[in-house]
A and B are shown apart, each in its own frame.
Chain A
Amino acid sequence: MNLRRDVFQAIADPTRRAILLLVASQTMTAGAIAANFDTARPTVSRHLQILTECKLLQQEQNGREIYYHLNPKKIKEIADWLAPFTKMWDDKFNKLETVMKKYKSNK
C-alpha cells in the first residue's frame, strides 16, 4: 500500500510525533529511533516509512546505515497550521489598532 499522504495525517499519530521530536535534535538510524519505543520494530519502520513518504523525514545513506533527519521545509508547513486563523485575528486587531489611533487623534 502506498497511499499518498499529507503531513497532517502523518502527525496525527502520537508515535510519529514522538519520532519527529527525537529526530529534531539529531539524525538517527531506524534502529536508534526504534530503541526509544516499546512498540515492535516493524511498527516503527512503518511509521518511518509514512513520515518519509510525506517528506517530513529524509533518508541519508551513510556507509551501510540509513540515517533519518528532519526536512525543515516540510516542518515549516506544519508550523504554519494555525497561520490562517492567527492571520484572521491579527488583521482584525490591526484594524482595531488603526481605528483607535485615529479615534485618539480626533479627540
Chain B
Amino acid sequence: MELKTQIKAEEGKQELFITREFDLPVELLFKAYVEPEIVEQWMGTKVLKLENKKHGSYEFETSDAQGNAVFKANGTIHDVVQNQKITRTFEMENSPFPVQLEFLEFEKLTEDTSKLTMHVVYKSVALRDQLLKLPFAQGINMAHTRLQEIVNKLK
C-alpha cells in the first residue's frame, strides 16, 4: 500500500524532511497542531501545556493504564504564523536523545487540501540515524531513486 507520508533522509545529513498531503483545508490542518484537545486526540498523548506563541513552550505526557508517565516530551516554541508555520524544539525526557529543532510548514494546496512539511534538524548525523533505529540503512539513499524504480516494477 502506498503511504501518503514521505520521508526524505539524505545520507550524511543531520536532518530529515517529512511531508504529507491532507484532504483538509490548511486552516484545519493548522488547528490540529495548536488546539490542545485536538492534539491529544491524534497524538494520543496528554497535553499539559501548549503555548502557541513566540517564547512559548509545550509539554506532552503519555501515561500507561496505571497512570504512570511512560513518555514525556517538551519543547520551546520559537515562532507561530497562523496557517503557515510553527518553529519549535522537541525533546524527549529521560531519553538519550538531545533536543531537536523542527520547522513545520503548512501549505494550502486547494480549498480542501493542504500539505505539511516537517523539517527536523538533529544534533548530529549519527543521532538522526540512531533515532531512525536503522543506523546503517540510510546509506542506500544514494542509490535509492534507481532502486526505487526497480522496486516499483515489483509492486
Chain A contacts to B: CB under 8 angstroms: 8-9, 11-12, 14, 17, 20-21, 24-25, 70, 72-73, 75-76, 78-79, 81-82, 84-87, 89-90, 92-101, 103-104
Question: With contacts defined as CB atoms under 8 Å apart, how many contacts are there between chain A and chain B in the complex?
Answer: 109
A1–B58 Cα gap in the complex (Å)? Answer: 53
A interface, over-half SS: helix
Look across to chain A and name the residue whose beta carbon is closest to the beta carbon of B116.
Answer: A93
Q: Which residue of A lies closest to B33 (CB)?
A: A96
Q: What is the chain B residue whose CB lies nearest that of A20? A: B143
Nearest B residue to A95, CB-CB: B42
**Those of B22-66 within 8 Å (CB) of chain A:** 22-24, 28-29, 31-32, 38, 41-44
The distance in angstroms between the C-alpha atoms of A87 and B133, with both chains bound, is: 13
A selection of 17 A-B contacts at a CB cut-off of 8 Å is A8-B134, A8-B137, A17-B143, A24-B143, A24-B146, A25-B146, A72-B151, A79-B148, A79-B151, A85-B133, A89-B7, A98-B42, A99-B32, A100-B24, A100-B32, A101-B23, A103-B31
In the complex, residue of chain B having the shortest beta-carbon distance to the beta carbon of A75: B147
Bound Cα distance from A31 to B6, whole angstroms: 38
Contacts A17-B140, A24-B143 given; indicate if A93 touches B150 (C-beta within 8 A): no
Ranked 6 nearest A-B pairs via Cβ: A81-B137, A90-B5, A96-B42, A95-B42, A12-B136, A90-B3
Q: Report the bound CA distance from A105 to B27 in whole Å.
A: 14
Give the chain A neighbours of B23 by CB distance below 8 A: 97, 101
Interface string of B108-151 (1 = CB under 8 A from A): 00000000100000000000000011101111101110111011
**A48 to B78, alpha carbons, bound, how many Å?**
50
Residues of B within 8 A of A104 (CB): 24, 28
- A107 and chain B: residue at smallest CB distance: B28
Inter-chain contact B151/A12, CB cutoff 8 Å: no
Complex formed: what's the CA distance from A32 to B137 in Å? 27
Given A20-B143, A81-B137, A104-B28, answer yes or no on A89-B5 (Cβ-Cβ < 8 Å): yes
